[in-house]
Amino acid sequence: MKHSWLIAMRELKERVKSRSFLLMALLGPILVLGLTYLLFALGGSEKKILNVLIMDPQEIMSGKIMPKEDPNIKYSFTNTYVDFEEFAKYEEYQKFDIGVELNEKVISNKHIKVMYRETPSERVKTRIQYHVERRFEEIFVKEFTQLSVQKFREIKQPMQFHFFNVYDPKNTDSKLSAWAGYFFGLIIILFIFLFGMTILRSVSKEKSNRIVEVILASVSARQLLVGKVIGIGISALFQFVLWSIIIGTGLFILRETVFIDLLDPSNFNPQQMTQEIANASMQEKLFAAREYNDFVELVYERIQFSSMLIFFTLFFIVAYIFYGSFFAAVGASMGSESDGQQYIIPIMSLLLLALYGGYYTVYYPEGPWANVFAFLPFTSPVAMMVKLGIGFSANDSWELFASLGILLGSALLMFYLAGKIYQNGILQFGHRLKAKHFIKWLKKS
């Protein structure tokens, strides 16, 4: 193990010192932040003004949400319940695009039903959630606590918004959190591909410059493989930690400085507001701030980062070993440094299948294939991240551990098989890699 550790540390140092590692650590998070922001910003380009009907029989919201709270959303109120069918068919409701139902127990159960005719953009969804939830916070604080609104926000439980298509109410739910899970799955696949290729290059480079023979005179092929996979794996985790820190800090700094929460009453400064409104560009900034807050709201309060990150790390590590073994086996089998590139295509296809599996799970979380994707080791890292994003009920949490267990078992098996190919292929030079080589080296003890 000491030898494997020495090899791992050498790999880690080499990776971390490389320019591509630093570049990835800087560009990756900027790209992620930029793309996510763009996603929300572009969502705001729709010109249509949405008519939203708030069904509030208890009149909790009366006078709390201003009809023109948002330039793109017009709120109206009714003190009756309207069910899906009425909302879908009755003439008086046809002018409303979205209906928000505040049931009589909303203060205790925190569930809010939202019905729509056309699927609203994520931006519109988060805005409505934001407006309703912020007002609820004020109601909660006023009626039930002695706390300030800000203090209350730190300890509150988020409201649960359930989105339904009025014409097909059973079909869909909010996919926002599923997409957040998909994003984590995407990061797993991206990192597996990038660092898997690093394993492949590192193995084939050692092989082609023949240092491998010197190393193998001190350590066994398996120790070398273990060291390599661990070293590159740690560098991948380190890269992810850098991403998390940069993205997290970036969001935090932006929220605290540039996009200070102007809607928060405790930050409200009428004089400053008047000044800012007088200045057109500042008004834009105000608008941007509000938009950004929707995003921050999603990022900081809707994604369950703690469990997401724990399972992300677990799935990432195990999936990395699983796929990394493939890459190591191909790298060790190459006859020359440029040989065997065609064998990367099947691995890439499997990675793409994993992404497709995740995409499918977002849309059909209960579909027949979703369960297959969730347990198949090739696809489970993404599918499970999506499922985790949607959330598991206490009864279903075994699925998460079962899927992780299957993946772990498969990873160990793959590592064992890749170790055999590695051991037998690493000292073979000058051939043109064919599928029969893999079989031959697998059979050999």
Establish if 39 lies at the interface with another protein (CB under 8 A).
no
CB 170 within 8 A of CB 292: no
Please identify which residue in 46, 168, 213, 396 interacts with another protein, judged by CB under 8 A.
213
Helix (H) or strand (E) holding 51: strand 50-55
Rounded (10°) angle between helices 435-443 and 305-333: 100
Establish if 394 lies at the interface with another protein (CB under 8 A).
no
Q: 148-187 mask for another protein (x: CB under 8 A)?
A: ----------------------------------------
Establish if 317 lies at the interface with another protein (CB under 8 A).
no
Cβ neighbours of residue 154 closer than 8 Å, sequence gap 6 or more: none
Establish if 212 lies at the interface with another protein (CB under 8 A).
yes
Q: Which of residues 46 and 213 has its CB atom nearest to another protein in the complex?
A: 213
Establish if 20 lies at the interface with another protein (CB under 8 A).
no
- Gap between the Cα atoms of 289 and 259, Å rounded: 5
Establish if 6 lies at the interface with another protein (CB under 8 A).
yes
- Compute the least distance from the CB of residue 338 to another protein, in Å: 17
- Compute the least distance from the CB of residue 73 to another protein, in Å: 57
318-355 in b/e form (b: 16+ CB < 10 A) is: bbbbbbbbbbbbbbbbbbeeebbeebbeebeebbeebb
Beta-bridge partner residues of 78:
55
Please identify which residue in 42, 413, 427, 439 interacts with another protein, judged by CB under 8 A.
427
- Compute the least distance from the CB of residue 70 to another protein, in Å: 56
How many residues form the binding site for another protein (CB under 8 A)? 21
- Compute the least distance from the CB of residue 33 to another protein, in Å: 32
Long-range own/partner contacts, residues 58-61 (CB < 8 A, 24 or more apart):
58/102, 58/104, 60/102, 60/106, 60/107, 60/139, 61/102, 61/132, 61/135
| Residue found by looking up tokens 């170790």 in the block | 419
- Compute the least distance from the CB of residue 11 to another protein, in Å: 10
Q: What is each CA distance from 237 to 129, 171, 187, 211, 266, in whole angstroms?
A: 34, 38, 12, 27, 39
Establish if 10 lies at the interface with another protein (CB under 8 A).
yes
Furthest CA-CA distance within the chain: 84
Q: Which of residues 171 and 218 has its CB atom nearest to another protein in the complex?
A: 218
Please identify which residue in 147, 219, 263, 286 interacts with another protein, judged by CB under 8 A.
219
- Compute the least distance from the CB of residue 22 to another protein, in Å: 15
CB 380 within 8 A of CB 373: yes
* Binding site residues, another protein, CB under 8 A: 3, 6-7, 10, 14, 206, 209-220, 427, 440, 444
